[in-house]
Amino acid sequence: MEGFGLAYLGAGLGAGLAVIGAGLGIGNIAASAAEGTARQPEATSDIRTTMIIAAALIEGVALFGEVICVLLALKS
Amino acid sequence: MKRLNVINPKAFIKVFALLVPLLLSGYGIAAASAGQSSSISGGPVAASAVEAVHGGAQAAPEEEKAGDVIMHHILDNRVFAFEPFGSVELPKIVVGGFDISITKHVVMLWLVSATLLLVFLLVGGKYKGMTPRQAPKGLANAIEALVEFIRIDVAKSNIGHGYEKHLPYLLTVFFFILICNLLGLIPYGATATGNVNVTLTLSVFTFFITQIAAFKAHGVKGYLQHLTAGTHWSLWIIMVPIEIIGQFTKPFALTVRLFANMTAGHIIILSLIFISFILKSYIVALAVSVPFAIFIYLLELFVAFLQAFVFTMLSALFIGLATAHAGDGGHEAAAAHH
């Protein structure tokens, strides 16, 4: 059936796209955190905490996307 | 932190010197046998290897599908497999139409609880015979470092005033998730946090604690005011539904994050191992599967700590946001998180 193939294709593409977004977002956070730590080494622990929280929230959004892709792949 | 930078170079060289000949000899054998197997057929060799790794309960007539084996490992079931030595069938219990049989993950949860009880009774007992100025030693020292980390860096800095009330929950959830994750990495173990029911239960706890803390901190009127996000009344028709949905997205995100992280790691490790079975080559096994699987395994060790920390940290953050008083700037942060 044609529809099954398209659903698998969509799930695969969606998984990749979600990872692109999360990668860009977390990369930006890490870059800014490294910069901030270099400028102000005494604020390292605060920056690290903020970085982990923000990364976790972005990761959560990406995981929503991945879960939808998994559901799509399993249902088709 | 500074101690991490001082890795003794001599010890490193020693380990390296031990490893290199080992790897090289393995490589030679692999290359030789790979050449042999390609000259004959390669089929039976790979099949017996499949049997050796994840057991030959059924004598693998053709070839087990990689996906089925991975799903069997990830999903919950009533068979506790100790593959080369057989397996343990767990009892099936049905009460009033509900299937409450004991599964693999339930056994792991009991094991985790037993481990936690053992460790903390042991550590707690050590503190009884000590004077206040004495420093703890060994296990008690290690646990104290983690407890202090959760107390100061997670609870105090995120909840602020009155954090002592929520500290027992945060510590419990941190150590519970940590031991769950770590036991899942031991051979024959199963990751209880890789089951969405377990993580959902944990985040439902966080949800109720957050809501009750908000009610206690603001009262019913303050709680309802919180739902309007301090906007003009004409915007309430948009803001109130968003705020209500926001209350439920937070625990949902906690659930999915922990579940997906723990499951994904195991799937990646198994997939890497199965690459060599699919390609039927020892060279791929030594050059790709084993090193990458070890790398991901070590990464999983880190992720086990990180996810336990993230769950605890976000729980503390949500409690802190719910109990923050107006004018603390708590609301801007809350809005930014949605």
pLDDT 10s digits, B153-206? 889 888 888 888 999 999 999 999 999 999 999 988 888 998 889 999 999 999
Q: Where are the domains of chain A?
A: 2-75
Are the Cβ atoms of A45 and B314 closer than 8 angstroms?
no
Model pTM above 0.80: no
Whether the CB-CB separation of B272 and B288 falls below 8 Å is answered with: yes
pLDDT band at B22 (very low <50, low <70, confident <90, very high): very low
Higher pLDDT residue, B56 or B190?
Answer: B190
pLDDT band at B337 (very low <50, low <70, confident <90, very high): very low
Structural domain contains residue B9: no
Give chain B positions within 8 Å (CB) of A53.
313-314, 317
Structural domain contains residue B155: yes
Q: How far apart are CA B213 and CA B173, in angstroms?
A: 17
- Per the structure, the count of domains in chain B is 1
Structural domain contains residue B320: yes
* Of the options 3.40.462.40, 3.30.70.20, 1.20.20.10, 3.40.50.720, the CATH number for the domain spanning A2-75: 1.20.20.10
Higher pLDDT residue, A14 or B136?
Answer: A14
Q: Best of A59, A66, A71, A74 to disrupt the B interface by mutation (most B CBs within 10 Å)?
A: A59
Torsion angle, CA of B119/B124/B128/B133, rounded to 10 degrees?
Answer: 100
Helices (H), A1-76: 2-39, 44-75
Average pLDDT, chain B: 78
Rounded to the nearest angstrom, the minimum Cα separation between A2 and chain B is: 23
Whether the CB-CB separation of B280 and B43 falls below 8 Å is answered with: yes
Q: Can you give the pLDDT at residue B178?
A: 95
pLDDT above 50 (res B243): yes
Q: How far apart are CA B175 and CA B179, in angstroms?
A: 6
Residue B306 structure tokens: 């990180």
Give chain A positions within 8 Å (CB) of B313.
49, 52-53, 56
Q: How far apart are CA B314 and CA B244, in angstroms?
A: 18
Q: How far apart are CA B300 and CA B179, in angstroms?
A: 13
Is the ipTM value over 0.95, yes or no? no
pLDDT above 60 (res B318): yes
Q: Can you give the pLDDT at residue B240?
A: 87
pLDDT band at B31 (very low <50, low <70, confident <90, very high): very low
Give chain B positions within 8 Å (CB) of A56.
257, 310, 313-314
Where in the sequence is the domain holding B306, given as residue range(s)? 104-337
Q: Give me the count of residues in chain A.
A: 76
Structural domain contains residue B1: no
For A44, nearest residue in chain B (alpha carbons): B1
Residue B124 structure tokens: 């707690």
Q: How far apart are CA B266 and CA A35, in angstroms?
A: 34
Minimum mean pLDDT range among A36-45, B51-60, B254-263: B51-60
Residue B190, class by beta-carbon neighbours within 10 Å (0-12 exposed, 13-18 middle, 19+ buried)?
A: buried
pLDDT above 50 (res B333): no
Q: Can you give the pLDDT at residue B331?
A: 46
- Considering CB atoms only, which of A45, A56, A64 is closest to B310? A56
Q: Can you give the pLDDT at residue B172?
A: 94
Structural domain contains residue B160: yes
